[in-house]
């Protein structure tokens, strides 16, 4: 890996592409989004990319109890590792990369990749780097106890190189504790846990060398506001945690400078928590809104989530007051927005959840009413938007009509008419086709469809992926709406 170049190299950990069409943010899909990462193999030539994404992953929750051994060997570093390691996982998989040949033509080569992740929810949700799982056909996760499972890619954010995957589990898994990156100090001791070059559960120690680093990856991508550390980070560390001496994650390891020693980078945990909360929220099967404007603060070693304002006129939660602190949702402790979104993950519009808030020295149980995201237009108005932008008329169908394709599908929208010359007609959609998802979201109702059409992610996608059932077969169709009519 030594080179005269001082470029930052992205270390892909292990990418994932599904063989079957996948709906990101559709927990039902077996496939996973793609992530760039550096593979640890005997040949490192393919690792020399413009930027090396190594690893840094986030986790949430409670992990294994730290040791109470009074021996002087039980140092703060040992205690921090023991507190966090049960929530750190190793990720492995294969993908195809294009390598340059002697005649200048590109050739496909299968490579073995590896990375790291952190368990953020006892149900098996894991955060890692996108470059770790991007284009990987089979994501194999090894837990700290040696057990293995195959993960599905649920959601991802290419701008921050973060992704969320999920493994099946019959028991609650240990999760990591989140610290804060708001009070980090240069010279502060930090610890990285990861899977460098396939050496599982490797621990390295260092200090925070600098803060607020902006690191260009290539001509189109740049990491912002990173933590710089001299804790050893290598290919395979991508998506793993950077810990403080309390065993709390304060960063996600993501990149290393090629040709240098002791220059690695991590995504600050405060930034990562917000991105992860968005990934969870947008992965729900049906878009919902809770109407809470929240802010996270970190004081005296503890995090709390408070109501910042109450200006949402649509909110039905009128009993809440500014500065109320969210204590729990359905009995689950809440200290940041990620935990709140995870607590609401399996709920639907129209449901209420039990919430406890702290106000002054008192605590109050209050119901939190959930509403459908984007349900502000009449069905006829939504139908006109769909006709103008995509060129179809649709009618909802029940889950039974699509369950034979995927039992997790909650329904779909059957096309009843197609406008001649429309984007749908150009892509040869036909009446009778059932749209079960667009991009990362299921399309169960017209309200779902309106929310998707208004989403900035949909508007910027060119084209967007539509998941369609036709005669008991699932198809993926790329379609660009008529931009002049996208509002």
Please say if 238 is a catalytic residue.
yes
Q: What is the CA radius of gyration of the chain?
A: 23
Q: How many CB atoms lie within 10 A of CB 197?
A: 17
3-state SS record for 230-247: CCCCCCCCCCCEEECCCC
**131 annotated active-site:** yes
Which residue(s) pair with 265 in the sheet?
Answer: 228, 255
First to last CA, the chain: 49
Q: Give the bridge partners for 243, in sequence order.
A: 191, 249
CA atoms within 13 A on the CB side of 263: 14
Residues in the chain: 487
DSSP secondary structure letter of residue 268? E
Residue with tokens 């040709």: 259
Q: Which of 59, 144, 238, 328 is catalytic?
A: 238
- Residue 185, C-beta contacts closer than 8 angstroms, at least 6 positions apart: 208
Among 135, 161, 232, 270, the active-site one is 161
Contact indicator for 59, 241 with CB cutoff of 8 Å: yes
Which residue, chain included where needed, has tokens 């927005």?
337
Catalytic residue among 24, 59, 121, 131: 131
What DSSP assignment string belongs to 323-358? T-EEEEETTEE-SSHHHHHHHTTT--TT-EEEEEEE
Torsion of CA 346, 347, 353, 356, to 10 degrees: 40
- Residue 16 structure tokens: 């994932």
CA distance 360 to 358: 6
Residues carrying an active site annotation: 131, 161, 238
């Amino acid at each position: 890996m030594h080179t005269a170049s001082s470029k930052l190299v992205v270390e892909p950990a292990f990418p994932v592409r599904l063989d079957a069409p996948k709906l990101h943010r559709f927990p039902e899909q077996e496939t996973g989004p793609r992530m760039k990462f550096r593979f640890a193999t005997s040949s490192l030539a393919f690792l020399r990319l413009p930027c090396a994404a190594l690893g840094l992953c986030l986790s949430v929750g409670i992990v294994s109890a730290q040791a109470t051994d009074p021996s002087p060997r039980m140092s703060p570093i040992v205690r921090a590792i023991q507190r966090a390691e049960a929530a750190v996982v190793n990720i492995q998989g294969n993908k195809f990369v294009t390598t340059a040949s002697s005649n200048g033509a590109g050739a496909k080569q299968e490579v073995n990749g590896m990375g790291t992740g952190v368990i953020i929810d006892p149900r098996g949700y894991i955060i890692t780097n996108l470059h770790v799982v991007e284009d990987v056909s089979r994501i194999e996760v090894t837990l700290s106890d040696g057990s293995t499972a195959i993960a599905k890619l649920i959601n991802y954010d290419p701008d921050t190189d973060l992704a969320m995957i999920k493994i099946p589990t019959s028991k609650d898994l240990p999760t990591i504790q989140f610290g804060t990156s708001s009070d980090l100090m240069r010279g502060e001791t930090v610890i990285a846990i990861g899977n460098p070059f396939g050496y599982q559960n490797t621990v390295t120690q260092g200090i925070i060398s600098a803060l607020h680093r902006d690191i260009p990856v290539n001509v189109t991508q740049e990491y912002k506001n990173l933590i710089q550390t001299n804790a050893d980070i290598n290919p395979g560390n991508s998506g793993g945690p950077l810990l403080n001496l309390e065993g709390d994650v304060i960063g996600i390891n993501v990149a290393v400078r090629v040709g240098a020693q002791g220059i690695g980078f991590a995504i600050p945990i405060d930034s990562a928590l917000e991105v992860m909360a968005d990934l969870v929220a947008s992965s729900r099967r049906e878009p919902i809104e809770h109407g809470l404007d929240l802010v996270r603060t970190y004081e005296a070693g503890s995090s709390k989530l408070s109501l910042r304002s109450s200006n949402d006129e649509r909110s039905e939660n009128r009993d809440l007051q500014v500065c109320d602190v969210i204590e729990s949702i359905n009995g689950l402790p809440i200290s940041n927005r990620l935990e709140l979104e995870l607590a609401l993950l399996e709920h639907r519009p129209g449901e209420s959840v039990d919430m406890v808030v702290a106000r002054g020295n008192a605590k109050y149980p209050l119901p939190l009413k959930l509403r459908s995201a984007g349900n502000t237009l009449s069905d006829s108005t939504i139908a006109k938007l769909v006709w103008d932008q995509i060129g179809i008329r649709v009618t909802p169908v029940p889950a039974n009509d699509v369950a034979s394709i995927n039992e997790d599908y909650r329904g779909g929208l059957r096309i009843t008419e197609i406008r001649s010359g429309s984007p749908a007609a150009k892509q040869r959609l036909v009446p009778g086709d059932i749209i079960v998802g667009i991009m990362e979201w299921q399309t169960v109702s017209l309200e779902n469809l309106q929310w998707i059409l208004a989403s900035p992610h949909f508007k910027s996608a060119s084209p967007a992926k539509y998941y369609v059932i036709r005669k008991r077969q699932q198809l993926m169709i790329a379609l660009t709406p008529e931009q002049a009519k996208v509002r």
